Structure 1
């Protein structure tokens, strides 16, 4: 789920450049500007590759864009977080769960609210989107409680997004969303969005359903076993 593109970034919220232009030659400054311009061009190509389903190319291009950005911005900048998020999204769709997790953690650190250990940079919609992205990694890992916790971080401020990757980006109150009736860990703005996301969510959700059923069966069997066991003291009292 790509962060919202239409909202303007507040330059007052950006981290300072790693390099100080006052100490640089005109040629160095020109090269720096060219690197940033090229980073935007490469990032756009990466997004286009992802849109046509070529996720391996998207990963390569997002990493190339990131390398260009890091010439002038730190890893904890909004600029870098956008590339880390793009890398994570492409890796997630390639099935590289650990790689996606690593990228999303770096992206979310920049965006997430300070109360949750983040820097709180940029639009809150982008923070909600990146929480959702990491939550989908947690689903794939079978960590449904952690996935739900991530999604509900924005609950008090009405800053939760729909889990459907193709849903028009928007923030919702929890009361405006419906949860999956099976796992109760993922939220949608409509039945149409839930249906569209089912192809992704089905595997992890069915796996969680089986885990819960197995846990209930084990608990029931253990309870019955405990009830069937009569201690010698109980037998003596019974006679």
Structure 2
């Protein structure tokens, strides 16, 4: 019977090298597995962001009415005009598109001077820090169609080639085909603050400050005072 290998024995050195190599191989395999898992998780998050983001406006979207690929094809050769810069509608050349979240639907009214029936809807870009708003004036076939479609606050709308109204921050459409419903915005909400005892009617982003552009600039104390006044009036 052969004696066990002693210190310095070549057989013992070989066994130690093999053990180290085995451990190294297992560690490298584990690292590779963890790296692949992290890459997969990152890709899944990226795919989820892409799936729930309207690419042109950057708005979060669910319940799409139009496939993203089809909408991308429709937007080719068109200019996206931000709600904050509606003056871009005056640029000549390409068709213009304004995209926003519906945040208010006005009543149908009649202009006694022009005898024109209209309704004023509100759109917001739902900016995280300071959401901008625009008034969408519906007349003619656009008003007739969209008043009966059941459009709701929180819907994402695309407005094609609207005309600038005489009022600042207002655009006008006449034909139903100028407005396209893209889907729903899951992060749309209203400002948490109060104005003179009434809940603030301005929109804001759920993942932002929780306040509209006006109240986000105020101090915490000023916002609390407004909320306390609102609560006291409700109790009365």
Q: TM-score range by the shorter chain?
A: under 0.3
Using the size of structure 1 for normalisation, the TM-score is: 0.27
* Structure having greater relative contact order (Cα 8 Å, sep ≥ 6): 2
Q: Which one has a bigger Cα radius of gyration?
A: 2
Q: Greater share of helix residues, 1 or 2?
A: 1
